[in-house]
Structure 1
Amino acid sequence: MAVASSELSNVRSSVIFEIFLTINRWCLLVWLLIESLSFVYKNATIIYPNQGYFAGE
């Protein structure tokens, strides 16, 4: 029984670890997307400074 319970706890911890890795991967992807979008937006305002005025009007 002890072997079975330790096996079960190992499976449970590995499943939790897999979920943790998946969440981390998605958080990293979302963060990279936001960072790249903000980077592109900053560069666009630098390259096209009139864009803000057009948006304001």
Structure 2
Amino acid sequence: MTVLMKAATAGNPLIIETLLSKGADVNAKDKDGRSVLDIAKMKKRDKAIMILQKHGANE
């Protein structure tokens, strides 16, 4: 699990924005094939979902 995935799980918009601005891979996948966006959706983190989509996360 990447730091960005942990931030999405926690639903922390400030950390998500910071990581993305520093080059974190918005489309990274975990060992089970789940993307950062998938994880945010599973946890119902609406702000995280919006930020990830704004930064080009694949559906």
TM-score for the superposition, normalised by structure 2? 0.25
Q: Which has the higher contact order (CA 8 A, sep 6+)?
A: 2
Q: Which structure: greater helix fraction? A: 1
Larger Rg: 1
